[in-house]
């Protein structure tokens, strides 16, 4: 069995797309996933499964959520090694877990508009793109960032972000599974 980290996008935000984590655990369990654990209400789960086709599995999770809850979130699955690689390639040396963000990409962008992102970033923000991860250091907070809203259009692929604290917690959970 393989361990995966599921990152769901756009659930439980401002009352939209409500999905209790207990409900997510149930859905994954009914799909045959084992040792399912969730972390905070923003759609993070770690589980084991014998299935290996991540795109197909992500689509199945999204479809099951639609059947049971009436909306179809984007689901990105990472293997433990993919998450480890993302952590290892982090270009920023900060211990501020809320300032550092990992934006996981569905695929590598073909023609990313990094110049466009440079044009809108604040003086304190820094970013790096490394294949399927966009790293953002935003010491003033992502809520104030003009760059955050431009990332997905500039990269041309779906993204979902997690802060450094969440990434490290998910890694610890995955290693315990």
pLDDT digits (tens, 9 = 90+) for 93-111: 887 888 999 999 999 999 9
By C-alpha distance, which of 129, 130, 166, 131 is closest to 151? 129
Decide if pLDDT at 15 tops 80: no
Separation of alpha carbons 158 and 155, rounded Å = 8
By C-alpha distance, which of 106, 115, 88, 117 is closest to 157? 106
Separation of alpha carbons 3 and 175, rounded Å = 9
Work out the percent of the chain whose per-residue pLDDT is above 90.
Answer: 85
54-69 and 21-30 helices, crossing angle to 10°:
120
pLDDT digits (tens, 9 = 90+) for 25-39: 999 999 999 999 999
Decide if pLDDT at 14 tops 70: no
Burial of 143 (0-12, 13-18, 19+ CB in 10 A): exposed
- Specify the pairing of strand 74-79 against strand 100-105: unpaired
Angle 143-156-93 from CA coordinates, rounded to 5°: 50
Determine the pLDDT at residue 133.
98
Separation of alpha carbons 41 and 91, rounded Å = 28
DSSP-based helix, strand, coil % in the chain, nearest 5:
35, 30, 35
80-88 and 164-176 helices, crossing angle to 10°:
140
pLDDT digits (tens, 9 = 90+) for 62-92: 999 999 999 999 999 999 999 999 999 999 9
Determine the pLDDT at residue 10.
81
């Amino acid at each position: 069995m393989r361990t995966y980290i599921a990152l769901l996008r756009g659930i439980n935000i401002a009352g939209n797309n409500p999905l209790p984590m207990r409900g997510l655990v149930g859905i994954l369990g009914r799909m045959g996933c084992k040792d399912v654990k969730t972390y905070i209400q923003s759609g993070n789960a770690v589980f084991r499964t014998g299935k290996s086709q991540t795109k197909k599995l992500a689509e199945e999770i999204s479809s099951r959520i639609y059947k049971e809850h009436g909306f179809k979130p984007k689901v990105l699955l990472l293997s433990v090694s993919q998450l480890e690689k993302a952590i290892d390639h982090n270009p920023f040396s900060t211990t501020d877990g809320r300032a550092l963000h990992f934006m996981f990409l569905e695929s590598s962008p073909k023609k990313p508009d990094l110049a466009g992102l440079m044009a809108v970033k604040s003086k304190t923000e820094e970013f790096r793109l490394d294949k399927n991860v966009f790293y953002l250091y935003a010491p003033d907070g992502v809520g104030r960032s003009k760059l955050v809203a431009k990332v997905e259009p500039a990269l041309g692929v779906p993204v979902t972000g997690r802060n450094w604290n969440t990434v490290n917690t998910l890694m610890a959970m995955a290693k315990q599974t």
